Structures are given as C-alpha cells and as structure tokens.
Amino acid sequence: MSIKARLADSFNSLLQSVSEAQVPAEPVSLAQLTDETNWLYPEKGTTIISFSNDDLKIITTLKYDRNNWLNFYIPNKAEFNQEGKVIKELRYATLPLHKQFMTVAKPLHTGEIMGLGSIIVYFIVTRIGASLPVTGFIIWWKKK
C-alpha cells in the first residue's frame, strides 16, 4: 500500500470518526420525561419540567407530592441528560434535616404551608400583632 493510499485511509477514518461524534443523540421528549419521572416517583402530584440554558443541557424535573400534609412544598427532584438518562435523583425524605427545613422555610413563613386555611390564620394573627402597639398606645394615652 502506497503512502498516498495509507494517508487517504487514515484521513477518511478520521473524518468518519469526527462526523460520527458530532451526530447529536435523539433528544428526549416531554412524554418520556414525564413517564420516567412518574416511574421514579409513583405518588400522585404535580410535575414541573425545566430546561437549562447553559452548555450542560441538563433537564430538571420536580414532582410535588399531593398526598402530604405540607401540600405543594415537598418536591422530589430528578436531573436528566439530553438523552433522558437519570443523572441525579433527590428525594425529599432522604435530604438532611436542615435541607428539609430550608425547602419549606418560605411557605412556612408566608403561611402557605397548609393551604388557604393557614393563610387566613396567619393573616388574622399578624393583624392582631400589628394592632397591639396601637391599642397599647391608646390605653397608655387614656390613663394619662
């Protein structure tokens, strides 16, 4: 085999390997992501799918357990690559206690943790707390 033929063969094999490497894999569909998330987390709930804007192309799904008393604030999280393979899976129950508290901190603070009933209770309690300085001043003024 001549040098030209060997060089042509090696160049062709190099071009073929480069062209095969650049062929993108079949992207995963939303139905496949939903099915995979439902398989990972079989409880009923709301699923939120978000796509990353960076070069990593990670797809994140959050599934909120509706059977829990904490309502909408207990997420289970899974991260997928572009082909739909699971990269990372995080269950709320397996998180350390401080991470669980961090997850429910905002809904607990705003009163949304148990739905409309807790929002109404929080509203009434904060109105009472806000009125105490005013009523205290009025009582002090009348005694004077």
Q: If we measure between CA atoms, which residue out of 120, 35, 36, 118 comes closest to residue 72?
A: 118
| Distance in angstroms (rounded) separating the CA atoms of residues 3 and 57 | 43
Q: What is the pLDDT of residue 142?
A: 93
Q: What is the pLDDT of residue 58?
A: 85
| Distance in angstroms (rounded) separating the CA atoms of residues 135 and 129 | 10
Looking at residue 56, the DSSP 8-state letter turns out to be: T
pTM tops 0.85: no
Q: What is the pLDDT of residue 18?
A: 54
Q: What is the pLDDT of residue 25?
A: 60
Q: What is the pLDDT of residue 17?
A: 64
10-residue averages of pLDDT along the chain (144 residues): 74 66 65 89 86 80 75 79 86 88 82 81 93 95 90
